Structure 1
Amino acid sequence: MVECVVAEDEDLLRAALVAQLRQAWPELQIAAECSDGASALEAIAERQPAVAFLDIRMPGLTGIEVARAVADASPATQVVFVTAYDQYAVEAFEHGAVDYLLKPVSQDRLEWAVQRLKARGHTAAPDVAVLDALLKRLAPRVRPEVAPLAWVTATVGRETRLILLEDVAYFRADQKYTVVMTAEGEALLRTPLRELLVALDPAVFKQIHRSTIVNLKAVASVLRDDSGKGQLRLRHRPESLTVSQPFMGLFKGM
């Protein structure tokens, strides 16, 4: 059975694409439907699907960043990017020879893409160098330039504190809230991790697990274990942080 993962942060568009896929490719099994990059990456690493349809603009990891990590986590998965119309983006995809669909996705175009995927069979994911070039070229469109947060407001007991992001070691999800860890201790932030991730500087803060975002400036070393997971040793915290296997590809070159 052929499986696929569909990642799109807008519920209606995701449901529409799934319905179109079931019509264009009846034997295809939808293994997972995801609304953000982190859950998409974890689903792909777990299910090892034949195909992944990735929106290029999602909360947290972009579709291109997910595809880059997929090259390690699930190398046989073929990737099809889904994007709103943008001539510059279309030219970039054409230049990189990667598959893409334009929103709103037409049934004819989807059926054409399905035939290409079937004809290609089981081949490797897009080349990492191609994805790096795409990410660099499309960065302003995939992740528009906005001033990242400089500080957050968090609580410790009855006290409210302003915490500079440069003092944060990592953020950890705690149900509906987020725990902020610094060298001095922990505080509680009422913003969910998913919302927080969008406002952080992606060059400094990296998601290493569905529930953890780390400040790279707080990392002393990265160690890969035999299971493919990683351990981050922090500069000013005694504990180590586990990098789940799907996210290890994001640390290449460090």
Structure 2
Amino acid sequence: MDKINCVIIEDEIPAAEELSYIISKHESINVVGIAYDGKSGIEIIKRKKPNAVFLDINMPVKNGIEVAEVVKEFNDSIDIIFVTAYEKYAVTAYEIYALDYVLKPFVDDRINITINRLINKWHKAKNEVEKIPNMLNKIIDKIDKDKKLLKKIPCEKNGKIVLVNVKDIYYCYIQDDKTYVKTKNDKHIVGYNLCHLEEKTNFFRCHRSYLVNMDNIKEFYSWFNGTYKLVMNDEQKSEIPISRNNVRKLKEYFEI
């Protein structure tokens, strides 16, 4: 397995060095940067693009919760591991999908549990991504060519009706009680609801608010608490959630 790159953001230098030393004992993980305040930490994350961040909460300039929110907006796939002396932030931490919450002072055995959890997650995600090409071929083979499916969908754009080819749609979604279709670099309002679109396109219903065109998926990965995320092949590399209830359907499609 390729090494997992991580960044440490910790305002106490001895604590940062101790944590880096414990992590360095694991050959599968590489510390690519250390920052001693939240603002510098965000800059390192954007520059180094790590897989995981070990993040203190009480820090100058930007606290750890604020940093985590920025990180998740920047790249939702980056795993957050909070390392702090305070238990009171635990609920907030898990609300922003932290992988773990470790209390100071650091204990090797407890850090090792976190690291093993991180390694297992990334190892599983890598294996799943490598299976995608064959899986997508199986999905395409299952499409019933005899169904009367739509080839074009009428949509509204700037007061005009435009006909969008189904093959050019990456996903459909609901926002503010309106239904949209997303193309490679644009979006359009559509008059159909998601249920109707599902019947007429054979798109995959991955979430109550999303349909995805399986031909336009780039990759997918295990995300949080039994859920997954799809990464689309549009210009924005949009990430679409797969609800826990639909993970089973996804695995049935892929025969995994």
TM-score range, shorter chain: 0.3 to 0.5
Higher relative contact order (CA 8 A, sep 6+): 1
Superposition TM-score, scaled by structure 2 size? 0.44
Structure of greater Rg: 2
